[in-house]
Structure 1
Amino acid sequence: MMVDFARVQKELQECNRDFEVSGIKVIPKSDANLAHLLGTITGPLGTPYEGGTFKIDITLPDGYPFEPPKMRFATKVWHPNISSQSGAICLDILKDQWSPALTLKTALLSVQALLSAPEPDDPQDAVVAQQRLPNIYGAQLVIGQKHMPGTSSLEEKVQKLVEMGFPDALVRSALESVEGDENMALEKLCSG
């Protein structure tokens, strides 16, 4: 079985037609290979990801559209359902809930929706999921790290959090409100 490239072409047009509205775009990584694509989604409004642009690496298996596309975040993102190491996405429609009726656009819209509605009970990244524990635990975690020698400068902390996809201004105000404590700033950004 081969990828249905006529369908893929149609899907690419569909994805790119209303980019201004949906914030979703998909382009081939190279003209020679339509099975390896690069998707772009914008951070959903009203979330800590608002204002961010996220790149998603998409590989179409030979069985596409009867098998789900393989998607992973190429942009580092801090989210309980996305691996901070590999960018792997924990989302049912990218696994057993996939249907050939779905498209790259619907899959990317679902990934975008996942950014605004994390599922900490089904984590891809246990470390991130634990960050969302009630504050009592967070406080204990943070205290142990707060007075460590060689803590990074404010600019390094800003850079680190911006690389996770949070807008610069939001990162700076979060860090300011918690006196530069990176963990607490991250918790604040994640909880909106």
Structure 2
Amino acid sequence: MSNIAFNRLQRECKEVVTNSEISETGIMIEILNENLTEIKGHIRGPPDTPYAGGMFDLDIKIPDQYPFSPPSVKFATKIWHPNVSSQTGVICLDILKDQWAASLTLRTVLLSIQALMCTAEPKDPQDAVVAKQYMDKPQATAEYWTLKFAKGTLPVNADYQARVDKLKDMGVREEEAISVLSCNNWDLNRATVYIFS
């Protein structure tokens, strides 16, 4: 990374860390190495969304060609969102791909990801299974995942928890039980067949 890019990235990180307006929206960063190529992002789930109250971590990798190439950003915290892979955390967001411009900043990226949490685009999904379910009943699974993986504050869905507990009683790890039930629309029989066949 060039000195110019490094200096710019320093300014961008300082802007995110010191700007009170940004911290009020629940966005923070943690710099993981001194050359600023690895950063941990933290986004609080926006109010009035299924992600409200959760704290979501992001892995951010800055390429050598920054700011002419976009940062690589993915969710480290599991999230049920049609524009994020439920398996890998990869985000489908145009500014992280072909709509990136050198004028965009780390702050823009983080705010855009938080905005995506408010306005899912199930017709242009990263995860087709999530998108299909999201169009039928958008809140329930996303709220449950927020509670379980992002330490959300919404009350637990007792019906979903009972199904997870049944699979756990059969020796299935909790995370796998949640994932398989979610992908099978919370149908316990289908999830059981999927796991044990």
> CA, structure 1 residues 85+162, in 2 after alignment: closer, same or farther (shift >3 Å)?
same
The residue number in structure 2 matching 1:22 is 25
Give yes or no for contact 1:50–1:166 (8 Å, CA) kept in 2. no
Q: Please report how far the alpha carbon of residue 25 of structure 1 lies from its aligned counterpart in structure 2 after TM superposition.
A: 1.3
> CA, structure 1 residues 47+68, in 2 after alignment: closer, same or farther (shift >3 Å)?
same
> CA, structure 1 residues 13+179, in 2 after alignment: closer, same or farther (shift >3 Å)?
closer
> CA, structure 1 residues 181+24, in 2 after alignment: closer, same or farther (shift >3 Å)?
same
| 2:158 pairs with 1:175 | yes
The residue number in structure 2 matching 1:40 is 42
Q: Please report how far the alpha carbon of residue 169 of structure 1 lies from its aligned counterpart in structure 2 after TM superposition.
A: 3.3
Show CA shifts across 1:22-48 (max 9, x none).
3111221123x3111111111011111
Give yes or no for contact 2:122–2:135 (8 Å, CA) kept in 1. no
5+ residue gaps, structure 2, are 138-142, 165-180, 186-197
Cα distance between partner residues in 2 of 1:61 and 1:45: 32
Partner secondary structure for residue 50 of structure 2 = coil
> CA, structure 1 residues 126+70, in 2 after alignment: closer, same or farther (shift >3 Å)?
same
Map 1:43-192; keep pairs closer than 5 Å: 43-134=45-136, 162-165=147-150, 167-170=152-155, 172=156, 174-175=157-158, 180=162
Q: Please report how far the alpha carbon of residue 180 of structure 1 lies from its aligned counterpart in structure 2 after TM superposition.
A: 4.9
Partner secondary structure for residue 39 of structure 1 = strand
Partner secondary structure for residue 57 of structure 1 = strand
Q: Please report how far the alpha carbon of residue 179 of structure 1 lies from its aligned counterpart in structure 2 after TM superposition.
A: 9.2
Show CA shifts across 1:65-122 (max 9, x none).
1111110001111101001111000000111111111110111100000011000011
For 1:169, give the aligned amino acid: L
Cα distance between partner residues in 1 of 2:162 and 2:153: 14
Show CA shifts across 1:41-71 (max 9, x none).
1101111111111111001111111111110
Cα distance between partner residues in 2 of 1:109 and 1:20: 11
5+ residue gaps, structure 1, are 136-157, 188-192
Q: TM-score w.r.t. structure 2 length?
A: 0.71
Give yes or no for contact 1:83–1:124 (8 Å, CA) kept in 2. yes
